[in-house]
Amino acid sequence: MKYIKILFFLIAIQISAQQGGMWIPSLLEGMNETEMQNLGSKMTAKDIWDVNSASLKDAIIHFNGGCTGEIISERGLILTNHHCGYGAIQSHSSVEHDYLKDGFWAMSEAEELPNPGMYVTFIKRIDDVSKEVFKGVTESMTAKEKQSKIDKNIVIVKKNAVKENWQEVKVRAFYKGNQYLLFVLENYTDIRMVGAPPTSIGKFGSDTDNWMWPRHTGDFSLFRIYADKDNRPAKYSKDNVPFKPKHFLPISLDGVAEEDFTLVFGFPGRTDEYLPAVAIEQTVKKINPAKINIRENYLKIVDEYMRADDKIKIQYASKYAGIANYWKKWIGENQGIEKSNAIANKQRLEVKFQNKVKNNSEYDHLLQDFDRLYKELDDVARARAYWTEVAYRNVELLRATVRLYQFEQKVTANPSSFESERDKLIKASKGNYKNYNAKVDRDVFEKLIEIYGTKIPATYLSDKLKNVNYTDLTNTIYTKSKLTNAEDFKSLLEGNQQEVLSKLNTDPAYVLGKNLSNDFFNKINPKFQAINLQIQDVQKVYMKALMETFPEERFFPDANSTLRVTYGKVKGYYPKDGVYYKPVSHLKGVMEKYKPGDYEFDVDQKLIDLYNAKDFGVYGENGKMPVNFLGTNHTTGGNSGSPAIDAHGNLIGLNFDRVWEGTMSDLNYDPEICRNIMVDARYILFIIDKYAGNKRLINEMKLVHPKK
Ligand code: ARG
Ligand code: ASP
């Protein structure tokens, strides 16, 4: 009964109207469909999602678990971002064969390059399984008991799911655990690299322009799905053939104008739109500053090495970009929260909420609970941030010790796994050492371990870091440890289990790392998780309470890496008083930013020639070549590579970023200032056709003129 009430409630909520939100594609009928049509869409909910016949969803894939991609030909051609294909482009590159620098264009299918480990996922069906998942869960249970019952039910639900034997199932919580959906999916694993522009196009503006408008980046790359003869998922084989999709996206040659309808379809990773003010305050005032400071130091050190040495530049390009990306995002997020008075606004909402629920004994204590729990979380959340950033994310040597620590735990508990665990370590280490430079890592370590040792709340400081001289510690570790190069690492792992573990436990890097890992896995994380579980329990009730208390508002479920639809319009914005940013940028802007020889803003001669000759083919517009455009679609990390789709279901752009003033959208979406950034589909075609001269790819696509 309770569940039915919630369900009605979710439906009722989807009926009021506004912008923003990331909606579940199988539940668009009703409010979302009307809203989309009011914004100019000519599509029905069924055109977007239809389990039984071809619909837009059949062209959308989760790309390698983190990004989105879309199918743009009947031969399984995938379009995604350059930064999503980056790891693959890098792994096929060397100083002699630098596809990052020069781009890569397969001139035939035979030249397309396999990528071991890469996979893409289609979503075939979505079922609401809330009723089954909540079966036997009662109010008298503790949070832990509830969760364990839910987990057991999920196992049963997954086992009973109707699916083909090559398909998989997944169950995910929505609305903070008030709703559960089951996904039936198909994973394809023979994915080949087809094309990528040089970094000077695909990553033009690099970290300086990242998260910014005006933007001029051709952030795209091309891959292809291969399948067996029955079009089913199959391991890599020479005999596999291009995958034949149920649907692929035609590409519009007509471009965009301000106010045009846009739909972005993809896999947003994570948002937290319904946090209480105390939580946002903690993130913005405590957690973000700690992480920003650590990364700032990492970036300064690595940047110097990269500028001085081409090999290090290739080795560290991907790592650097990854660290820089969120470093910059958190800075923007903090500024946005401050500027939009997000905390004060949440507090006002909470006063209103508290007034409305003051006689409701289920809800009246929620905000107090949050206050108490976030206070309790404060120290351990900061400790966790320091540990994660220093021991896991930024110092590679320490990350290696975490893997070794888990190895030691596993083989000690289960000695028969020794051989296979050791093999796994050796395999993983090959890739890691290929891109490892001990000098760089040493400098990073020295700086970061001191920050860790001086800033982490005292109760969480490891014995091994009490009263040490950080420079001496660094010297000892980086001269004596066997973890600083591939050969020593391999020799360290030679011998039987006892020998390996005893060698390991005398290695100075491991001795420190083990101490840090013990702190984390035995102290920091268990405490963090225990409090967090309680917070989640409160957050679940709070979510339900918000929806009941403010029935006039519309609530979408926070992003959780599942497939979502977000829609809006092409639109500029006012970044600050007196300034308006237009929604479309052009190739002219690339030339304005051009700095010969600069690694961020260099421009390839061929692109300059095309620009000077105004040789834009059918892709230009009034003698200009559009490059990027802005929309009001509500996106987040994971939406990279998502298609931007017009009112008729054609591809008009490729999502890749958001604007600086709006990066707070993960915590506080504001339609006035939050914008997503897309590459104009015509720029992509122009680069493939005019710049790379790759007609075979253009010929397999379907180019259309919906506006004519
Ligand atoms: N900010 C975008 C996203 O979060 C693009 C990141 C890749 N580009 C870069 N310059 N690092 O993924
Ligand atoms: N650039 C992000 C991504 O890679 C998208 C975003 O955060 O807006 O998914």
**Mind listing the pLDDT tens digit for each residue in 343-378?**
999 999 999 999 999 999 999 999 999 999 999 999
pLDDT at residue 1 above 70?
no
Q: Does the Cβ of 635 fall within 6 Å of ligand 2?
A: yes
* Rounded-to-integer distance, Cα 353 and Cα 546, Å: 8
**Tokens coding 635:** 């996106």
Q: Write the burial class of residue 499 (CB in 10 Å: 0-12 exposed, 13-18 middle, 19+ buried).
A: exposed
Q: Which ligand is nearest to the CA of 633?
A: 2
pLDDT tens sequence across 409-457: 999 999 999 999 999 999 989 889 999 999 999 999 999 999 999 999 9
67 alpha carbon to ligand 2 midpoint, in Å?
A: 8
Contact 657, 219 (CB under 8 A): yes
Whether 211 lines ligand 1, by a CB cut-off of 6 Å, is yes
Kindly tell me if the per-residue pLDDT of 15 is higher than 60.
no
How many CB atoms are located within 10 Å of the residue 465 CB?
19
Q: Which two tokens stand for residue 266?
A: 């993809």
Q: Check whether 225 has a pLDDT greater than 80.
A: yes
Is a pLDDT exceeding 50 seen at residue 512? yes
| Residue 639 alpha carbon, nearest atom of ligand 2 | 9
Ligand 1 centroid to 639 CA: how many Å?
11
Q: Is 546 helix (H, G, I), strand (E, B) or coil?
A: helix
Q: Is the peptide bond before 214 cis (omega within 30 degrees of 0)?
A: yes
| 81 CA: nearest ligand 2 atom | 4
Give the model's confidence band at 610: pLDDT under 50 very low, under 70 low, under 90 confident, else very high: very high
Of the candidates 58, 207, 209, 219, the residue annotated as catalytic is 219
C-alpha span between 220 and 680 (Å, rounded): 10
- The pLDDT-based confidence of 480 (bands split at 50, 70, 90) is very high
- Does residue 153's CB lie within 6 angstroms of at least one atom of ligand 1? no
* Alpha-carbon span 475 to 445, nearest angstrom: 10
- Ligand 2 atom closest to the Cα of residue 68 is 9
Percent of the chain with pLDDT over 90: 93
Give the residue from 261, 283, 296, 242 showing the smallest Cα distance to 74.
242
User: Across all residues in the chain, what is the average pLDDT?
Assistant: 95
CA distance 624 to 478: 55
* Residue 582 pLDDT > 50: yes
**Residue 151, amino acid:** D
Residue 648 appears among annotated catalytic residues: no
Say how many Å lie between the CA of residue 207 and the centre of ligand 1: 8
The upper half-sphere exposure of residue 217, i.e. CA atoms within 13 Å in the direction of its Cβ, equals 30
Residue 322 pLDDT class (50, 70, 90 cuts): very high
- Residue 218 Cα, ligand 2 centroid: separation in angstroms? 15
The predicted model scores a pTM of 0.92
User: What are the residues facing 68 on neighbouring strands?
Assistant: 62
* Minimum-distance ligand 1 atom for the alpha carbon of 640: 12
Point out the ligand nearest to the CA of residue 63. 2
Alpha-carbon span 356 to 459, nearest angstrom? 41
> By alpha-carbon position, which residue is closest to atom 11 of ligand 1?
321
CB 17 within 8 A of CB 31: yes
**DSSP SS3 for 349:** helix
Contact 363 CB / ligand 2 (< 6 Å): no
Tell me, what amino acid is at 532?
A: N
Token look-up 């403010």 returns 550
Residue 169 has pLDDT above 70, yes or no: yes
Q: Are 180 and 126 in contact (CB under 8 A)?
A: no
User: By the 8 A CB rule, do 292 and 451 touch?
Assistant: no
For residue range 526-567, what is the model confidence (pLDDT) as tens digits? 999 999 999 999 999 999 999 999 999 999 999 999 999 999
d(CA 360, CA 345): 23
Do residues 500 and 493 lie in contact, with contact meaning Cβ atoms separated by under 8 Å? yes
The set of residues, in sequence order, having a beta carbon less than 8 Å from that of 240 and lying 6+ positions away, is 190, 226, 227, 228, 234
Beta strands 120-128 and 168-174, pairing class: unpaired
Four-CA torsion 373, 526, 325, 122, nearest 10 degrees: -100
Q: Is the dihedral of CA 557, 563, 569, 572 positive or negative?
A: positive
User: What is the band of 7 on the pLDDT scale with cuts at 50, 70, 90?
Assistant: low
Q: What is the pLDDT of residues 649-691, one digit of tens each?
A: 999 999 999 999 999 999 999 999 999 999 999 999 999 999 9
Residue 573 near ligand 1, beta carbon < 6 Å: no
87 lines ligand 1 (CB under 6 A): no
Question: Helices 288-308 and 366-387 meet at what angle, rounded to 10?
Answer: 30
Indicate if 417 belongs to the active site.
no
Given a contact cutoff of 8 angstroms between Cβ atoms, the answer to whether 676 and 657 are in contact is: yes
Question: Catalytic annotation on 640?
Answer: yes
User: Hey, which of 208, 320, 657, 664 would you mutate to test ligand 1's pocket, going by the most ligand atoms within 8 Å of its Cβ?
Assistant: 657
Among candidates 219, 236, 218, which has minimal Cα distance to 227? 236
**Could you say which of 26, 130, 206, 640 is catalytic?**
640
- pLDDT given at position 412: 97
Instruction: Measure the N-to-C terminal CA separation of the chain; round to a whole number of Å.
Output: 52
| Closest ligand 1 atom number to CA of residue 321 | 11
* Helices and strands, number each (H, E), in the chain: 26, 22
Whether 318 shows a pLDDT value over 90: the answer reads no
Q: 596 near 680, Cβ under 8 Å?
A: no
